């Protein structure tokens, strides 16, 4: 890649980073092109060399947000571990991800039901792919013996919803004690679901 392209990529990244930084404290629909370019140290017109819209920038941020998560959870689910240990590890994973990628997680939570349709659609699509992956991993586990595909999928959705809720709770945690409490709650809830799953047949 030539110097030209590299410089362009750098500017593009600066715009994305500026956007993400600003979006930590406000909505995408409340964001302005001028605001982003100002934060990125660029003239307003320059924005249009990279994105048609702020919505387009938003969709790129969605993709970046969820790309890392995919690998993360895929790895966690692939591990063959005892159920209790897996739960602890999963909650720790979520906590770590929120700590390291706080801005991305906040952005996702904000815009999941936000006012910008293309961004909302992108998030919904990614979360659905997510549930697919989880469902596939669950189906491969011995505990899913005798479960219909629909029921496995339902279980996967419950897990994904719970994961999102937990991540959001971590986001708003007040301090270490609060984080510990949230982690404990999440673990207990997962354990409850796990117990229900084990005794599913007996009703």
Partner DNA sequence: CGAGTCAGCAAACAGTTGTTTACTGAATGA
Partner DNA sequence: TCATTCAGTAAACAACTGTTTGCTGACTCG
Residues near DNA, by CB under 7 A? 2-5, 7-8, 10-12, 31-35, 37, 41-50, 53-54
Shortest Å, Cβ 115 to DNA: 14
- According to the binding rule CB under 8 A, does residue 109 interact with a second copy? yes
141 binds, among a second copy, DNA, none (CB under 5 to 8 A by kind): none
Shortest Å, Cβ 6 to DNA: 7
- Three-class secondary structure assignment of the chain: CCHHHHHHHHHHHHHHHHHHHHCCCCCCCCCCHHHHHHHHCCCHHHHHHCCCCHHHHHHHHHHHHHHHHHHHHHHHHHCCCCHHHHHHHHHHHHHHHHHHCHHHHHHHHHHHCCCCHHHHHHHHHHHHHHHHHHHHHHHCCHHHCCCCHHHHHHHHHHHHHHHHHHHHHHHCCCCHHHHHHHHHHHHHHHHHHHHHHHCCCCC
- According to the binding rule CB under 8 A, does residue 11 interact with a second copy? no
53 binds, among DNA, a second copy, none (CB under 5 to 8 A by kind): DNA
- According to the binding rule CB under 8 A, does residue 115 interact with a second copy? yes
7 binds, among DNA, a second copy, none (CB under 5 to 8 A by kind): DNA
Among 39, 162, 173, 179, binds a second copy (CB under 8 A): 162
8 binds, among a second copy, DNA, none (CB under 5 to 8 A by kind): DNA
């Amino acid at each position: 890649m030539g110097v030209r392209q590299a410089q362009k990529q750098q500017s593009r990244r600066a715009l994305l980073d500026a956007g993400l930084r600003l979006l930590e404290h406000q909505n995408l629909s409340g964001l302005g092109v001028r605001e982003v370019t100002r934060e990125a140290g660029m003239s307003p017109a320059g924005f249009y060399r990279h994105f048609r819209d702020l919505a387009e920038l938003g969709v790129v941020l969605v993709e970046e947000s969820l790309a890392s998560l995919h690998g993360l959870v895929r790895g966690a689910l692939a591990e063959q571990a005892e159920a209790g240990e897996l739960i602890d590890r999963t909650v720790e994973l979520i906590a770590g991800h929120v700590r390291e990628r706080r801005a991305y997680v906040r952005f996702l939570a904000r815009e999941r039901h936000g006012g910008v349709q293309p961004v909302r659609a992108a998030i919904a699509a990614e979360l659905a792919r997510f549930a697919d992956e989880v469902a596939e991993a669950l189906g491969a586990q011995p505990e899913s013996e005798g479960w219909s595909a629909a029921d496995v999928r339902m279980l996967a959705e419950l897990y994904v919803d719970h994961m999102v809720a937990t991540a959001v709770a971590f986001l708003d945690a007040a301090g270490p004690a609060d984080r510990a409490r949230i982690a404990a709650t999440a673990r207990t809830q997962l354990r409850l679901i796990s117990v229900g799953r084990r005794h599913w047949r007996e009703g």
